[in-house]
């Protein structure tokens, strides 16, 4: 380590001296050379700007001063936007003559102002600090250097400091998050061949440490003084008069720590510097607030321990520590009640460093909250045999008279008496002994994070070795009332070994309001889906995976389920969670006047491509209400808004969901059928255009009946199979497609034979129309069907002269050179179409 340090430091000195010796006119070239080497060696982005680098002998004469400003190490590729390091100002002052003499290199100062370090580890284990570029250089055998003889210059750093630093560490593989803000650090020392002393002082204004979603320190202050004697030859560190203070809790340490060629050796002792109970309370989450200084306390505290032995790949040091509180008491002056008779007796002991030989004993934990006693104990022998008990009766409303709780309020009563004994190694839990009960009544809870609140009118839970049984629960979650009975199996296997947790519950409710649990943005987005054609931008969003170690079955029954702008009435069904997939089986409910039966699955195991698959049977649902309420209907069947009447359907639809849980319309696939007994069309532009074209007024807002249609959704389109429908008494066949962009392409064939409408088109037995464009702006093109022979002759006679005249006119234009061959063919075709499209108008006269 010393060799590496001296080599790196020597190279650094060479660079500094080079920059000093060469004329300042060459600074740009030197910086460019350094930039090229950094780009070669690192995968991160570092941009050295000459204007941000300065050298001076005058600034700190006679020392050489180097100043670097606005320095960054920027992440690339998947770490784009994450800067590993940012420094506002880096300043170094060095005694040049000490480098020349070679006896002792003296650095006056190393100063970092406003540094920010952001270490980020991804789920795959890659980290943004791994920035060294891969190299294919062949290793060169090292030759002995002067280090082997112990010779070389010593290094003395008069002062180093860090001011207003920020450190952020994120590692989901552990999972842990650390955030340190306003970090200030200073130190100094003389680094010699053998022994040097180092004294450092560190303060952190706010430190937050979260492990597995639980905050163990939340914006805690830190104050630390570390005083070490270091022997680099032996890599031996001796601790002297050290302390670490977190909030008001101070720990001191003494002993030694050594790093031989393999592993570590240590003999360290630590203990509390303050024997007051108040100092311990300062590190209890939620206790350390602005009024903590006014807290009245009493009681004795003892805390201490030691770590001794070797740590390497095969060994751990022995360790032990103990925490004891005797007759603790605290009281906030502005609150009426207090906590007293606090007793804690905690011991953790490992005598030989073998992890499995660790004992944990909480011989006593007891206190009285406003005269209400709570007590418990916990024992874990050899990390195997465990036993725990807890007893107490608490009036929750009293707790608010003890602790300041501005962000929440609660009340009610809890009576608990439970005991558990078993072995971690007992995989079948045959030796598990568990008994007890918990009763709750009149519980009410609200908080800033849970403004909806929840309540328990009454609940009774009994504990046995195999399950937790919920015998009687009646309460509410927000506006939703809940009555629940059921059980939870394998709760100990789940808690101790992350095994499968099984539950089976019966849930009943009069009103289950799901809108309360959607964020305001989600609610607005869902409601706007029914009135806008914009697909939500969900690229930056991702659904959450469901737990795979929970098997949940719930039989649900609710009078009303509220979801966005929908009210599902008389809801019943079975909901299951298994292997991370949510299934809905035989759900029955009434919605918008129609009756629904639904089965489906939601599979978010691949959170980037969550799947859903649902089948519906619908009876007597309003067309207009379905259009107003379901965005899928708007996308694929806009005609629904112009139909007055009901339909029944049997369909299946599947596909992907976006990050905001909206359907990805391009991925949808579905099949199904629709039935209509009778309905009325109002304002369908395509039919109204056909009515005008044929002079059949009854086709303007006609009645329809006897529909039995099938179709499928795929590739962003609805494909409608050919089906027959009675339109104003005309047997009509319809088929075609709708796209989610609004384009339509339909074929409509009307059979006029035997109808009273044949008077409008004598001799015409059927008419075909090609409908294209968009639903709101359709284009109608007639394609005539079977026409009687006498009508054909009449059409021929009536159009012969017009056709002949038109052809002669076009031929004359071609002969005169006014029109070319391609244009002639196009005009001939258009003339024929115009004559054909005028057929109906001639028949009307």
Q: How far apart are the C-alpha atoms of 478 and 453, rounded to whole Å?
A: 5
Residues 167 and 24 in one domain: yes
Task: Look at residue 139 in the predicted model and tell me its pLDDT.
Answer: 52
Task: Look at residue 62 in the predicted model and tell me its pLDDT.
Answer: 64
- Confirm if 192 and 233 have CB atoms less than 8 A apart: no
- Confirm if 183 and 206 have CB atoms less than 8 A apart: no
Residues 621 and 679 in one domain: yes
Task: Look at residue 822 in the predicted model and tell me its pLDDT.
Answer: 60
* 623 belongs to a structural domain: yes
Higher pLDDT, 157 or 374: 374
Task: Look at residue 111 in the predicted model and tell me its pLDDT.
Answer: 92
Mean pLDDT, rounded, for 731-756: 91
* Number of residues written out for the chain: 845
Residues 632 and 745 in one domain: yes
CA 678 to chain CA mean position, Å: 48
For residue 39, what is the enclosing H or E element?
A: helix 27-41
Residue whose tokens read 């007293």: 340
* 232 belongs to a structural domain: no
Give me 303's structure tokens.
């805390």
Mean pLDDT, rounded, for 237-247: 90
Task: Look at residue 590 in the predicted model and tell me its pLDDT.
Answer: 95
Whether 3 shows a pLDDT value over 70: the answer reads no
Task: Look at residue 194 in the predicted model and tell me its pLDDT.
Answer: 73
Q: How far apart are the C-alpha atoms of 230 and 258, rounded to whole Å?
A: 10
Max CA distance (Å), the chain: 123
Task: Look at residue 566 in the predicted model and tell me its pLDDT.
Answer: 87
Higher pLDDT, 339 or 99: 339
Q: How far apart are the C-alpha atoms of 219 and 182, rounded to whole Å?
A: 11
Total domain count for the chain? 3
Secondary structure (3-state) at 27: helix
Mean pLDDT, rounded, for 783-789: 52
Give me 501's structure tokens.
């947790």
In terms of Cα–Cα distance, which of 422, 410, 484, 390 is closest to 453? Answer: 410
Residues 661 and 800 in one domain: no
Count of alpha carbons within 13 Å of 287, Cβ hemisphere only?
Answer: 22
Q: How far apart are the C-alpha atoms of 765 and 759, rounded to whole Å?
A: 11
Lowest mean pLDDT among 178-182, 294-298, 829-833: 829-833
Distances (CA, A) of 120 to 124, 179, 608: 12, 12, 21
Lowest mean pLDDT among 302-311, 563-572, 824-833: 824-833
In terms of Cα–Cα distance, which of 15, 401, 490, 1 is closest to 235? Answer: 1
Which sign does the torsion angle of CA 615, 620, 626, 627 carry?
positive
In terms of Cα–Cα distance, which of 494, 417, 422 is closest to 465? Answer: 422
Mean pLDDT, rounded, for 47-62: 72
State pLDDT tens for residues 404-432: 777 788 899 999 999 999 998 888 888 88
CB atoms within 10 A of CB 492: 21
Task: Look at residue 656 in the predicted model and tell me its pLDDT.
Answer: 93
In terms of Cα–Cα distance, which of 493, 823, 844 is closest to 692? Answer: 844
Lowest mean pLDDT among 84-98, 173-187, 196-210, 245-259: 84-98
Residues 809 and 711 in one domain: no
CA 405 to chain CA mean position, Å: 29
- 687 contact partners, CB below 8 Å, separation of at least 6: 681, 699, 700, 701, 702, 727
* 535 belongs to a structural domain: yes
In terms of Cα–Cα distance, which of 622, 627, 632, 562 is closest to 592? Answer: 622
Domain termination residue (choose one: 784, 812, 828): 784
Q: How far apart are the C-alpha atoms of 683 and 693, rounded to whole Å?
A: 16
- Neighbour-count burial for 786-801, b at 16+ CB within 10 Å, e otherwise: ebeeebeebbeeebee
* 839 belongs to a structural domain: yes
- Confirm if 631 and 664 have CB atoms less than 8 A apart: no
Left (φ > 0), alpha (ψ -120 to 50) or beta: where does 240 sit? beta
Mean pLDDT, rounded, for 156-168: 91
Residues 748 and 835 in one domain: no
Mean pLDDT, rounded, for 650-665: 89
Whether 343 shows a pLDDT value over 60: the answer reads yes
Secondary structure (3-state) at 1: coil
Residues 664 and 765 in one domain: yes
Residues 749 and 828 in one domain: no
Q: How far apart are the C-alpha atoms of 212 and 822, rounded to whole Å?
A: 75
In terms of Cα–Cα distance, which of 667, 661, 484 is closest to 582? Answer: 661
- Neighbour-count burial for 677-687, b at 16+ CB within 10 Å, e otherwise: eebebeebbbb
Secondary structure (3-state) at 354: coil
- 639 contact partners, CB below 8 Å, separation of at least 6: 684, 775
Mean pLDDT, rounded, for 513-518: 78
Residues 796 and 709 in one domain: no
* Sequential DSSP letters for 651-714: EEEEEEB-TTS-B-GGG-EEEEEEEEEEEEE-S-HHHHHHHHHHT-GGGSS-EEEEEEEEEEEE
Mean pLDDT, rounded, for 679-699: 89
User: In which band, very low, low, confident or very high, does the pLDDT at 811 lie, cut at 50, 70 and 90?
Assistant: low
Secondary structure (3-state) at 314: coil
State pLDDT tens for residues 449-464: 788 888 999 999 998 8
Task: Look at residue 576 in the predicted model and tell me its pLDDT.
Answer: 94
Whole-model pTM over 0.75: no
Residues 701 and 832 in one domain: no
Which sign does the torsion angle of CA 785, 786, 789, 794 carry?
negative
* 116 belongs to a structural domain: yes
Question: What whole-number percentage of the chain has pLDDT above 70?
Answer: 81
Domain that holds residue 666: 518-545+604-784
Residues 776 and 811 in one domain: no
Q: How far apart are the C-alpha atoms of 781 and 745, rounded to whole Å?
A: 11
* 180 belongs to a structural domain: no
Q: How far apart are the C-alpha atoms of 843 and 767, rounded to whole Å?
A: 14
* 567 belongs to a structural domain: no
* DSSP 8-state code for residue 790: H
- 807 contact partners, CB below 8 Å, separation of at least 6: 828, 831
Residues 712 and 836 in one domain: no
Lowest mean pLDDT among 58-62, 275-279, 694-698, 742-746: 58-62
Q: How far apart are the C-alpha atoms of 765 and 751, rounded to whole Å?
A: 6
* 27 belongs to a structural domain: yes
Whether 246 shows a pLDDT value over 70: the answer reads yes
- Neighbour-count burial for 124-143, b at 16+ CB within 10 Å, e otherwise: eeebbbebeeeeeeeeeeee
State pLDDT tens for residues 661-672: 788 989 999 999
- Confirm if 571 and 561 have CB atoms less than 8 A apart: yes
């Amino acid at each position: 380590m010393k060799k590496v340090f001296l080599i790196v430091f020597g190279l650094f000195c060479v660079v500094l001296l080079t920059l000093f010796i060469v004329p300042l006119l060459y600074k740009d070239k030197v910086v460019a050379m350094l930039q090229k080497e950094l780009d070669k060696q690192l995968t991160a982005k570092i941009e050295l700007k000459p204007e941000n680098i300065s050298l001076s002998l005058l600034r700190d004469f006679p020392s050489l001063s180097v100043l670097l400003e606005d320095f960054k190490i920027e992440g690339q590729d998947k770490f784009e936007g994450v800067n590993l390091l940012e420094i506002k100002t880096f300043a170094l002052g060095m005694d040049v003559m000490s480098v020349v003499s070679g006896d002792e290199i003296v650095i006056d100062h190393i100063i970092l102002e406003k540094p920010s370090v952001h270490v980020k580890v991804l789920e795959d284990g890659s980290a943004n600090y791994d920035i060294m570029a891969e190299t294919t250089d062949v290793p060169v055998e090292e030759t002995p250097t002067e280090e082997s003889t112990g010779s070389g210059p010593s290094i003395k750093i008069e002062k180093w400091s860090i001011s207003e630093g920020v450190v952020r560490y994120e590692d989901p593989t552990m999972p842990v998050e650390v955030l340190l803000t306003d970090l200030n650090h200073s130190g100094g020392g003389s680094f010699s061949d053998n022994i040097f002393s180092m004294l450092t002082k560190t303060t952190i204004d706010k430190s937050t440490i979260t492990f597995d979603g639980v905050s163990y320190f939340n914006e805690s202050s830190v104050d630390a003084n570390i005083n070490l004697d270091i022997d680099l030859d032996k890599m031996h560190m001796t601790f002297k008069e050290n302390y670490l203070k977190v909030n008001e809790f101070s720990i001191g340490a003494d002993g030694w720590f050594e790093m031989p060629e393999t592993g570590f050796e240590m003999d360290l002792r630590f203990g509390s510097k303050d024997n007051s109970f108040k100092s311990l309370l300062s590190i209890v989450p939620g206790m350390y607030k602005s009024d903590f200084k006014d807290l009245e306390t009493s009681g004795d505290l003892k805390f201490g321990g030691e770590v001794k032995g070797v740590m390497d790949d095969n060994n751990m040091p022995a360790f032990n520590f103990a925490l004891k509180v005797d007759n603790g008491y605290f009281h906030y002056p502005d609150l009426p009640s207090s906590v007293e008779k606090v007793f804690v007796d905690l011991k953790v002991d490992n005598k030989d460093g073998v992890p499995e030989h660790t004992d944990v004993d909480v011989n006593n934990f007891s206190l009285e909250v406003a005269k209400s006693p709570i007590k418990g104990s916990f024992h874990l022998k050899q990390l195997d045999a465990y036993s725990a008990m807890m007893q107490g009766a608490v009036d929750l409303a009293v707790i608010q008279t003890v602790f300041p709780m501005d962000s929440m309020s609660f009340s009610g009563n809890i009576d608990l008496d439970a005991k558990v004994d078993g072995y971690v190694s007992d995989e079948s839990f045959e030796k598990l002994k568990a008994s007890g009960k918990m009763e709750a009544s009149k519980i009410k809870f609200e908080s800033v994070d849970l403004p909806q609140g929840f309540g328990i009118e009454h609940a009774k839970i009994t504990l046995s070795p195999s399950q937790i049984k919920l015998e009687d629960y009646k309460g509410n979650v927000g506006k939703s009332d809940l009555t629940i009975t059921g059980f939870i199996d394998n709760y100990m296997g789940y808690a101790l070994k992350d095994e499968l947790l099984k539950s089976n519950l019966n849930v009943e409710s009069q009103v289950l309001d799901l809108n309360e649990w959607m964020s305001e943005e989600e609610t607005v987005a869902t409601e706007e889906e029914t009135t806008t054609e914009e697909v939500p931008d969900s690229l930056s969003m991702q659904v959450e995976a469901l737990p795979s170690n929970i098997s949940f079955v719930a039989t649900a029954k609710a009078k009303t389920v509220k979801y966005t702008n929908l009210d599902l009435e008389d809801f019943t069904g079975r909901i299951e969670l298994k292997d991370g997939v949510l299934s809905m089986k035989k759900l029955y409910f009434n919605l918008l006047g129609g009756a629904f039966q639904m089965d489906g699955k939601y599979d978010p195991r691949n959170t980037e491509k969550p799947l859903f698959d649902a089948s519906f049977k619908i009876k007597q649902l309003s067309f207009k209400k379905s259009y107003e309420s379901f965005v899928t209907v708007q996308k694929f069947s806009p005609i629904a808004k112009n139909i007055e009447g009901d339909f029944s359907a049997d369909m299946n639809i599947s596909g992907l969901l976006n990050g905001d849980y909206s359907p990805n319309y391009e991925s949808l696939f579905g099949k199904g059928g629709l039935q209509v007994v009778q309905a009325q069309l109002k304002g369908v532009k395509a039919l109204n255009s056909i009515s005008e074209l044929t002079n059949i007024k009854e086709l303007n807002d006609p009645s329809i009946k006897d529909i039995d249609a099938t179709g499928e959704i795929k590739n962003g389109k609805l494909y409608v199979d050919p089906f027959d429908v009675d339109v104003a008494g005309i047997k009509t066949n319809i088929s075609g497609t709708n796209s989610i962009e609004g384009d339509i392409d339909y074929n409509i064939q009307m059979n006029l034979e035997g109808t009273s409408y044949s008077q409008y088109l004598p001799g015409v037995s059927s008419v075909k129309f090609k409908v294209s464009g968009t639903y709101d702006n359709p284009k109608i093109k007639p394609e005539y069907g079977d026409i009687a022979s006498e009508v054909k002759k009449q059409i021929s006679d009536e159009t012969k002269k017009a056709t002949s005249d038109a052809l002669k006119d076009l031929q004359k234009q071609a002969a005169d050179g006014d029109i070319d061959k391609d244009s002639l063919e196009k005009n001939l075709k258009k003339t024929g179409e115009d004559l054909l499209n005028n057929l109906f108008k001639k028949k009307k006269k």
